[in-house]
């Protein structure tokens, strides 16, 4: 039950620790998505909550949902204005050069009949910035903290693969795939005018621990 995955709740919003493998939007393959669970996340309200942003299907961790339309508009504005602090953890297939830095690589969507769609670095694309820092190295892999300043589709995954030269472990599009993808939305802070900010931290998931990266 996703009701057991709630990290934060008040009258305006809730933050869910989304399991890896659960799509936010209904997928084309007909699999269950977040929509199938919204009725169980009302917590006494008549209105179903609504996702304010998106996480990739195979990304686990902090997902913000609004509990009423006015709150939804305000929370979306916070994302659009770049006011939301997001912290991600990822295990990379190798070890990047250096210990920390800022990736400034604009992204654009490309599509082909053979490969479907994906994102790639493109100077003519939309601006995308991600701060990164290596937390630990084990068995030739690095645990890296990412703090995106923008919220482009697949931003961390492309920045890791193209800018750092080492893809996220298990990434089926930009890496070698074959195992669970090790990308986790670990923390979220959303400022609110006249109110305490929304803050949430999602524990390191089991698939990180199984890969030997249980401590952030």
The two tokens of residue 143 are: 């645990």
Q: Which residues contact 44 (CB under 8 A, 6 or more apart)?
A: none
Q: Provide the greatest CA pair distance for the chain.
A: 51
Whether the per-residue pLDDT at 108 is higher than 80: the answer is yes
- Residue 29 has a pLDDT of 85
Enumerate the active-site residues: 56
Task: Answer whether 153's CB lies under 8 Å from 41's CB.
Answer: no
- Residue 215 has a pLDDT of 63
- Residue whose structure tokens are 């393959």: 29
The two tokens of residue 167 are: 């893809």
Phi-psi bin for 2: left (phi > 0), alpha (psi -120 to 50), beta? alpha
Q: Which domains does the chain have, with CATH numbers?
A: 2-210 (3.30.2350.10)
44-52 long-range contacts, Cβ below 8 Å, gap at least 24? 49/14, 51/24, 52/13, 52/76, 52/79
- Residue 113 has a pLDDT of 74
Handedness of CA 169, 170, 171, 172 (dihedral sign): positive
Residues 7-26: pLDDT tens digits? 999 999 999 999 999 999 99
- Residue 30 has a pLDDT of 83
Kind and range of the H or E element at 91? strand 85-92
Question: Model-level pTM?
Answer: 0.94
- Residue 154 has a pLDDT of 96
Alpha-carbon distance 58 to 66, whole Å? 22
């Amino acid at each position: 039950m996703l009701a057991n995955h709630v990290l934060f709740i008040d009258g305006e919003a809730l933050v869910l620790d989304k399991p890896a493998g659960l799509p936010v939007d209904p997928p084309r393959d007909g699999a269950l998505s977040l929509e199938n669970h919204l009725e169980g996340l009302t917590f006494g309200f008549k209105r179903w909550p609504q996702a304010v942003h998106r996480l990739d299907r195979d990304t686990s961790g902090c997902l913000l949902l609004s509990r009423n339309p006015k709150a939804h508009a305000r929370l979306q504005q916070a994302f659009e204005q770049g006011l939301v602090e997001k912290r991600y953890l990822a295990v990379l297939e190798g070890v990047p050069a250096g210990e920390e830095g800022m990736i400034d690589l604009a992204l654009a969507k490309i599509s082909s009949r053979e490969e479907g769609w994906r994102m790639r670095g493109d100077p003519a694309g939309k601006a995308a910035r991600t701060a990164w820092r290596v937390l630990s190295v084990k068995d030739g892999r690095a645990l890296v903290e990412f703090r995106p300043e923008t919220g482009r589709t697949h931003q961390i995954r492309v920045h890791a693969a193209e800018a750092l030269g080492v893809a996220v472990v298990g990434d089926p599009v930009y890496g070698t795939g074959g195992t669970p993808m090790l990308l986790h939305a670990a923390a979220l802070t959303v400022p609110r005018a006249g109110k305490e900010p929304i803050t949430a931290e999602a524990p390191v998931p089991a698939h990180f621990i199984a890969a030997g990266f249980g401590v952030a």
